[in-house]
């Protein structure tokens, strides 16, 4: 994929995912041109395994299809914004 993409791995029932959702959405919303893809992850899901996701939520930032940064269980919007800044 051309451009910057944020892959947001997690589940809708995960407490950590629910707690970080506003920070993730806020940082991505404040970054122009970032594609946000929420990826339902879990046991046997090959995409999460291919990115070596161990904890939820994990945001993997890709630039032109290549991973440039990731943040695991972001505590605030600043952590996600810093990962997104690595793509610029």
| Residue spans per domain, the chain | 4-85
Mean pLDDT calculated for residue range 6-34: 96
Please state the separation of Cα 79 from the chain's center in Å: 11
Distance CA 2, CA 64 (A): 4
pLDDT tens-place string over residues 31-66: 999 999 999 998 888 999 999 999 999 999 999 999
Q: Which architecture characterizes domain 4-85 according to CATH?
A: 3-Layer(aba) Sandwich (3.40)
pLDDT reading at 1 higher than 90: no
pLDDT reading at 20 higher than 90: yes
> Cα dist. 15→19, 53, 85 in Å?
6, 17, 26
Q: Are 53 and 44 in contact (CB under 8 A)?
A: no
- The reported pTM is 0.95
Q: What per-residue confidence (pLDDT) applies to 53?
A: 96
Per-residue confidence at 78, pLDDT binned at 50, 70, 90? very high
């Amino acid at each position: 994929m051309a451009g910057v993409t944020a892959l947001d791995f997690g589940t809708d029932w995960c407490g950590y995912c629910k707690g970080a959702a506003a920070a993730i959405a806020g940082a991505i919303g404040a970054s122009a041109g970032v594609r946000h893809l929420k990826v339902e992850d879990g046991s046997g899901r090959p995409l999460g395994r291919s990115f070596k996701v161990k904890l939820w939520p994990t945001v993997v930032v890709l630039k032109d299809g290549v991973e440039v940064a990731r943040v695991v269980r972001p505590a605030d919007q600043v952590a996600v914004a810093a990962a997104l800044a690595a793509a610029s």
